[in-house]
Structure 1
Amino acid sequence: MSRTLLPRFLLTLGLVAWTASAAPPTAAPALPSSEERLAHLARLWGQVKYRHPALAYKDIDWDAALVAAIPQVEAAGDAAAYAQAVQEMLEALKDPATRVLRPDETPEGTASSAQSPARASDRWPAKEVLLLDLSAPQPETLRADLAKAKAILLDLRARGLDAQAPEVMWRALGDVLPLLLTQSLQVPGERTVFHSGYRAHTLPPNGRFNSSLLTTSGEVIAPRGQGKPRPVIFLLDDQSPVDARVLTMKAQGLAQIITEGRLDDGASAEKTRVELGAGLVATVRLSELGVPLRADAVLPRRARSEGKDETLQKALELARKPVRKVKSREVELPPGRWRADAAYPEMTYPGREYRLLALFRLWNVVELFYPYKHLMDSDWDGALRTFLPRFAQAKDAAQYALAVAEMSALLRDGHVTLHGHPELEKRGIAGGFAPFEVMELDGKPVVVRVGDAAAAPGIKKGQVLETLDGQPLAQRMEALKPYVTASHAAALRYRLWARALSGPDGSQATVGVRDTDGQLKQVRFTRSLRPAPPSGDPWRLSQDNVGYVDLTRLMPAEVAPLFEKMKSTRALVLDMRGYPNGTLWALTPYLTTRKVRYGAVFERNVVSAGESTGRYKFHEELPQANVPLYRGRTVMLIDERTISQAELTGLFLEAANGTTFIGTPSAGANGDVTNLVLPGGIALLFSGEDVRHADGRQLQRVGLKPQVYARPTLAGIRSGKDEVLEQALEFLRGQGNSAVGPPR
C-alpha cells in the first residue's frame, strides 16, 4: 500500500470502528447537514490557505483540492465518509501534520480511552542507566544521579496523561537538557507564515500590505554537563512534546529516539485545530523546521497498562551502544514566493464548485483581513451560511455576479467596489460613470458638476434628473440598493445615484432632465471609466483677503507657489469636496503650527501562526519639511464626496493646526485600498486598514464631523451660488453659525 493511501486507509478504519462502537447509551455526534459541512470545509480551507507554510512556497493547487472535495463532502452519508472526503482534500499538502484526527486523538476520544500505559517507577532500570520521567517532579539528587549515570533515558510519553502533562514535560526538559550536554547545542528557529494586511491581487503593491515567511531566531543551549558524551534516549509517543531541541540532538548524533507509534515531523510543528462537526477535528500545521524527525526504533502504540514496557526495554538495549557522532541533518527550507490567486476570467458563469470557491475565498479574506469587521451591521459568520445556497444555486452568470455583489455590500465600506464582470457592468454595479456629478438635494438628484461637457452636451448644473433611457431613474436606483454599499446613509445615496447612471465603459444612455423652466428634455451622454478631472485655477483670492484653494485641482508641485502667493492672507478655505492629488504630504508642513507629531492612528489585521486575527497598530507621523509656516486660520469644506485620502488630509490638518470642518460629514471610508479576485474575473476592492483620528476616535462609518453645518440647496445651485463656501466665508468673518449638525 502506498504511503499516500495508508493514512486514508487507517483513518477510515478508525472511523468505522468508532461509529460502530458508538452505540447507546453514548450516541455518536450527529452528522451536520450538507450546508453545515460545507461551512466547516470553508473555514478549514481558509485556515490552511492563509496559515499553512507550504502554500507560501510550494506549487500546490489548493483551489483544485477544494473543488474536488466539495461534492464528496456534500455526498457523505456518515462521519467516516465525511472525514475521508476532508482528508482527501488535505492530502494535496502531503503533510502528515495537517489531517483529520483519529477519534481517539480528539478530546472526546481521549476522555473515554482506557487507563494510562504503565510508566516504570524504577529510576535505575538497569545498572548505571538513569530513567527520568519528565511528567513527575525531579528529585534533589538529580545532579548526583546524572554524574554517576552511564546512559540517560528521558520518558516524554504523554499519552493517557492529563492535558497539562506535555507542558510540564516541555518545561522540565528545559531544566534537564543543559545538564546532559557537554557541548553547545545550536537549535534552529521555526518558520511560519506572516500576513501584514491583505496584499492586493491586481493593484500595484503599496508597500504596506505584505505576506512573508518568518523564521524565529534559534537558541544556543550552553552545556552544563561533565565528562564525555553519554547515550541519551528519548522515549516518545504521539502526544509527546517533540520540539526543536529533541530533533537537533538527534540530528547531531547527541541523542536517539524511540517512538510508540509512527511519528513524523508534524509532531514538532505548531498546529491549530479546526472543528468539523460530527465529533471530528482537523489539525493544520502552522510552523516548520529544517530538522527532520528520524526515529531509531518504532514500536506499536500501547493503549493499556498491563504487560511489559517494550519501549523501555528497547531503550535499554540502545543505551548499551556507544554514542556515534554524525553530521547534522539540518535542511535548508525553500524561500517564500507570493502568487496572486487565479481569477478564472473565462468563467463568467463558473461551475457550482467554483462558485463555492468564490464564496469561500470572499468569506475567508473578510473574516481574516477586513479591519472593520467589528463595525459591520450583520453577522459575518452567519453570512457564510446565508450565502451558501445563493452561490450554489445561482442559475446563470447574472445570479452569480449579483450574489457576489450582495455579499460584498454587507461590509458597509465606501471603498467596496466591484469590476471585471459583464453582468455587473450591465446593471451599473461596475463600469463607467456619467460625465457629470449628481448629489441628492432637497430629496432630488441634482447635477452639481459637469466634468466633460463634450460627453454630455446639454447637461448643466442645477438640472434635476428624472429618467434614464425612458425609465424612472429612482426606480433604477432602488434596484441597486442590495448591491451597492457605503459607510453611512448620505454617502450611500450619493453612490447609488452615481451607480444608477453607470454602465459599460464607452456606452451611451439618455437622461431626462428638468430645467428651471420646468421642461423635461432628453440628453444623450457617454460613460467613461476615467471621469474628466476638475478644471480651472486651483486657487484665488477673495475681497476679504481670504484665499480659496480647490484641493481637487491642486497638484503637489503647486503647493510651494500656493503658500508664496497666500502668505499674507488672513485665512485659507481648503475645498476638499472630492478627491485630492496626493498634496497632503506637501501641504501639511506649511500648516503644522502645533507641537504635535502624529496625524492619525492606523491598524491592520495580522494573520500568523500566533494569531489568526491579530492587529498591528502604529501612529502615522505628520510629514516634516523646512518651509515657512502659514499662521492664518484654515477651514476645510467637506461632504460625502470627501473620501479616503481626502479624509486623511482632514485628519492631518486637524492635528497640525486645528483646521475647522465646514459642510456635512465626509464619506467615512478610509484605509489603503486592497483587493481580492474571484472566479469570473471579479475583483473586489475594500479598505485594508483601520484609520482613526490622532486621539483614537473612530472615523470609519462616521466621517469627519463638521463644526459648522452647511448644505447646498437646489435653489442655490440654480442661482449659481456656492452656499457651503459662503457659509465658510461668513464663519471666517465671525458671523457664521458654529452649531454642530444640521439646523433643526
Structure 2
Amino acid sequence: MKKTVLIVLVLLIQNVFAKGNLTETQKLAATAKVWGFLKYYHPNVAVGKINWDNQLFDILPQVEKAQSKEEFSAVIEKWITSLGEIQTINIPQDTKKIYFSKNLNLEWIGNKDLFAKSLSSKLKFIEENRFQGKQFYVGLQLTDPNVVPLEFINEVKYPDFKWTDKNLRLLTLFRYWNYIEYFFPYKYQMDEKWDVVLSEILPRFIAPESELDFHLTMRELSVKLDDTHASIGTVKMFERFGDKFIPVDVKIIDDKAIVTALKNDSLAKISDIKIGDVITKVNGKTVSDIIKGNKKYVEGSNESAVLRNFYWLIFNGNTETVEIEFIREGKTSVKNIYRYLYKNLKISYPDNEKSKNLENNIGYINMGEIGKEDVPVVMEQFKNAKAIIFDLRNNSQGTNYAVSEYLNPEPKEFVKFIDNDLSFPGRFVWREEIEKSGKTNPDYYKGKVILLVNEVTQSHGEYTAMCLQAAPHVTVIGSQTAGADGGVCRLEIIKGFRTQFTSYGIFYPNKKETQRIGIVPDIVIKPTIKGIQDGKDEPLDRAILFVNTGK
C-alpha cells in the first residue's frame, strides 16, 4: 500500500514539474510567432530600423536557456523592451471598407501555458498600437493589374547559406511560416491548422537527418497549404525525385497511369510507348502505392489537382531507364523505357485548331489557342451557331473580357477580390472596385454556351470560366478544376529556396469560394481508360449530346 502511494506521489510530482517546464519545440514555436508578429506589428521593427534577422540570432540562445514559462516570458519581455518605446495611438476604423478576418488569429497572444500575464499584456498593447506606416518587409501595389500585388522585400538572402547552421534553418522556417500566417488569403481553408503545422514540423528543423531531409521538409511545408499554386523547389531535391522524364503525358485513372499524349513521337517510339497504354507498376511498385506513399510531396488544392501533379513523382528519376508494368490490348507486360533530361525531350506540341465547326451547327473554340486578335473572327464565324463550346481544358490566353462582350446583353459583375490589409497584417479587405464582364450589346450571342473544364483548368483558366459563366445560357461540363484562383506570389525565402503561393483571394459576387472547390461543373464527365484507348474526347462528346438533347 505504502509503495503504491509513493509511486502515485512521484508521478504527480513529475507531472507538475513537466507542466512547469517548456519543451524546445514549445519555446521555438512561440518564438517564431512572436518574432513574426513583431516584424509586422512593432512600429520600430516594421519600419526597418532594426536588423531583424540578427535580433532572432541573438535571442535564440537566451530562449534555449529558459526552462519555465516565467523564464521564457522574462526573456521575451526584456527583448521587447529593448526595441524601444511604443506610443499609444488611435487607429480609426474605416467604415467604408468591408473587412475579411477569417485568417486573422492572434489568440495565441493570451496563451497562459506559454506566456506570463505581463508578456501577454505587452503583446496585446502592440497589437492595439500597431505600425500604420509603409511596411519595410512587405509591399502591396494595386495599380498595375499585370503585376502581382504582394511582394516580400528587403530580406537578406544569405548567399553563403549552409543547412548545418541551425539559426539559418530556423530563420528559413520562421520567415516562411509568417509569410503564410499573415499574407496567405486561404489559410482558413487549409486541412490542418497552420500553428499545428508549425509545432509538428519544428523538430525536423531543429535536428534534420540530413541536408536532403531539410530540403524535403521545406517542400512538405508548402504542400500543407492545400494550394495548387504553392510549392517550394530546390536543386537538392533532384537527389530524391530525379531530373529525367519519360517522353509521354499520363493521366491517373483508377490508380493507374494512362498514356494520353506523346511529348516526342520519336523518343516514345524508341521505348515503344503508345497512347492508351495502361501503366500499373513502376520499378515494381504499384501506381496506387506510389501515390499513397508520396502525397506529402505533391501540391494541390484538391484531389483532382494532386493526381494531375503526380506524374513527375511517379516516373521521374536519375537513371537512364525505368521499369514499367503495363497493359496493352489486354496483355500485361514488363519492360524498361528511357528517361530524358527535360531539355532533351524536345517536346513537339501538337498544332491544335483554334476553332472549328462541329456537327449540327455547333461551334468549338479552343481557349488555350486563341488570342485577343482572334476573338472577333471566331465570334463572327459562330454568330449563327446554335451553340458554342469554349474549351478551357488548356486554360486561356487572356481573352475572357473580349469574348464576354459577345455573350452578354449588358455588363455583369462576376467576381470579388480580397487584398492584404497591411495596416492589420492577417486581415484582408474586400476590394471596392467592381469587376464586370461584357458590355451593353443588344446583338449578343443568344445560343447555348458550353464551358469545358477539368483539373488542368487553373488560375486564369478558372478566372476565365467565372467571367464567361456570368453570361446567359451557360452550362459547365467536365470535372473538378484545380481550385487555385488568383495571382501567384513568387519569391526566394533564402538562398536556393524558391517558393510561390496564391497571393489574393477570388470569390464569386455572392462571396462563394473558388479556392480548393474550383469551378463546379453542371454536368460531371471524366475521361475513361476505354475512351482514351478508343481515341474519344468524352467530355466534348458529352457537350455535343447536351446541345442536341438539352440533357
Normalising TM by the smaller chain, what interval? 0.7 to 0.9
Q: Does 1:536 align with 2:356?
A: no
Q: Does 1:33 align with 2:23?
A: yes
Correspondence for 2:133: 192
Of 331, 337, 347, 1:518 maps to 331
Q: Which amino acid aligns with 2:133?
A: T
Q: Does 1:682 align with 2:497?
A: yes
Q: Does 1:564 align with 2:390?
A: no
CA distance in 2, matches of 1:678, 1:725: 43
Do the aligned partners of 1:602 and 1:620 also contact (CA within 8 Å) in 2? no
Q: Which amino acid aligns with 2:331?
A: G
Correspondence for 2:397: 581
CA distance in 2, matches of 1:205, 1:709: 33
Residue 83 (structure 1) shift:
3.2
Residue 441 (structure 1) shift:
2.4
More helix per residue: 2
CA distance in 1, matches of 2:198, 2:191: 15
CA separation of 1:575 and 1:612: change in aligned 2, threshold 3 A: closer
CA distance in 2, matches of 1:624, 1:568: 19
CA separation of 1:88 and 1:198: change in aligned 2, threshold 3 A: same
Correspondence for 2:261: 449
Q: Which amino acid aligns with 1:364?
A: N
CA distance in 2, matches of 1:394, 1:34: 15
Correspondence for 1:51: 41
CA distance in 2, matches of 1:518, 1:644: 40
Q: How does 1:449-468 map to 2 (within 5 A)?
A: 449-454=261-266, 456-457=268-269, 458-468=272-282
Of 437, 451, 456, 2:249 maps to 437
Deviation readout 1:235-267 (Å, 9 max, x if unpaired): xxxxxxxxxxxxxxxxxxxxxxxxxxxxxxxxx
Correspondence for 2:174: 360
Deviation readout 1:424-461 (Å, 9 max, x if unpaired): x3334x97865533212244211223344355444432
CA distance in 1, matches of 2:499, 2:485: 16
Deviation readout 1:126-180 (Å, 9 max, x if unpaired): xxxxxxxxxxxxxxxxxxxxxxxxxxxxxxxxxxxxxxxxx9xxxxxxxxxxxxx
Do the aligned partners of 2:136 and 2:154 also contact (CA within 8 Å) in 1? no
Do the aligned partners of 2:138 and 2:153 also contact (CA within 8 Å) in 1? no
CA distance in 2, matches of 1:426, 1:603: 39
Correspondence for 1:341: 155
Residue 728 (structure 1) shift:
0.5
Correspondence for 2:61: 71
Do the aligned partners of 2:390 and 2:450 also contact (CA within 8 Å) in 1? yes
SS at match of 2:549: coil
Number of residue equivalences: 489
Q: Which amino acid aligns with 1:501?
A: F
CA distance in 1, matches of 2:433, 2:327: 49
Q: Does 1:209 align with 2:149?
A: yes
Q: Which amino acid aligns with 1:724?
A: P
Q: How does 1:382-401 map to 2 (within 5 A)?
A: 382-401=196-215
CA distance in 2, matches of 1:448, 1:711: 13
Deviation readout 1:367-388 (Å, 9 max, x if unpaired): 1111111111112112221111
Do the aligned partners of 1:198 and 1:674 also contact (CA within 8 Å) in 2? no
Compute the TM-score of the two structures, normalised by the length of structure 2: 0.78
CA separation of 1:590 and 1:497: change in aligned 2, threshold 3 A: same
CA distance in 2, matches of 1:90, 1:110: 13
CA distance in 1, matches of 2:459, 2:406: 22
CA distance in 2, matches of 1:68, 1:524: 52
CA separation of 1:399 and 1:551: change in aligned 2, threshold 3 A: same
Do the aligned partners of 1:577 and 1:642 also contact (CA within 8 Å) in 2? yes
Residue 730 (structure 1) shift:
0.6
Residue 197 (structure 1) shift:
8.7
Residue 651 (structure 1) shift:
0.6
CA separation of 1:620 and 1:501: change in aligned 2, threshold 3 A: farther
Deviation readout 1:508-553 (Å, 9 max, x if unpaired): 6546354336353443243538976553221111121111111222
CA distance in 1, matches of 2:434, 2:276: 40
Q: Which amino acid aligns with 1:42?
A: A
Q: Which structure has the larger Rg over C-alpha atoms?
A: 1
CA separation of 1:415 and 1:432: change in aligned 2, threshold 3 A: farther
CA separation of 1:611 and 1:62: change in aligned 2, threshold 3 A: closer
Correspondence for 1:645: 460
SS at match of 1:68: helix
CA distance in 2, matches of 1:670, 1:633: 26
CA distance in 2, matches of 1:578, 1:60: 47
Deviation readout 1:389-417 (Å, 9 max, x if unpaired): 12111121111112112222221111112
Q: Does 1:632 align with 2:447?
A: yes
SS at match of 1:607: coil
CA distance in 2, matches of 1:500, 1:199: 39
Residue 722 (structure 1) shift:
0.9
SS at match of 1:657: coil
Q: Does 1:591 align with 2:412?
A: no
CA distance in 2, matches of 1:356, 1:109: 23
Residue 607 (structure 1) shift:
3.1
Provide structure 2 residue ranges, at least 5 long, that are not aligned to the other structure: 1-18, 88-115, 122-127
Do the aligned partners of 1:559 and 1:586 also contact (CA within 8 Å) in 2? yes
Q: Does 1:83 align with 2:23?
A: no
Q: How does 1:289-368 map to 2 (within 5 A)?
A: 339-344=153-158, 346-347=160-161, 349-368=163-182
Do the aligned partners of 1:413 and 1:486 also contact (CA within 8 Å) in 2? yes
CA distance in 1, matches of 2:160, 2:38: 26
Residue 658 (structure 1) shift:
4.3
SS at match of 1:549: strand
Correspondence for 1:372: 186
Correspondence for 1:331: none
Residue 482 (structure 1) shift:
1.4
Residue 567 (structure 1) shift:
2.1
CA separation of 1:519 and 1:81: change in aligned 2, threshold 3 A: closer
CA separation of 1:84 and 1:519: change in aligned 2, threshold 3 A: closer
Deviation readout 1:637-679 (Å, 9 max, x if unpaired): 1111111111111111111334211111212221211134333
Do the aligned partners of 1:604 and 1:690 also contact (CA within 8 Å) in 2? yes
CA distance in 1, matches of 2:137, 2:476: 33
Do the aligned partners of 2:255 and 2:288 also contact (CA within 8 Å) in 1? no
Q: Which amino acid aligns with 1:209?
A: P
CA distance in 2, matches of 1:382, 1:42: 13
CA distance in 2, matches of 1:53, 1:108: 20
Correspondence for 1:548: 364
Q: How does 1:154-173 map to 2 (within 5 A)?
A: none
Do the aligned partners of 1:451 and 1:534 also contact (CA within 8 Å) in 2? no
SS at match of 2:175: helix
Deviation readout 1:37-59 (Å, 9 max, x if unpaired): 22221112112222345556646
SS at match of 1:355: helix
SS at match of 2:544: helix
CA distance in 2, matches of 1:592, 1:570: 16
Please tell me the root mean square deviation across aligned C-alpha atoms, in Å.
3.7
CA separation of 1:86 and 1:435: change in aligned 2, threshold 3 A: farther
CA separation of 1:655 and 1:624: change in aligned 2, threshold 3 A: closer
Q: Which amino acid aligns with 2:149?
A: F
CA distance in 2, matches of 1:492, 1:81: 41
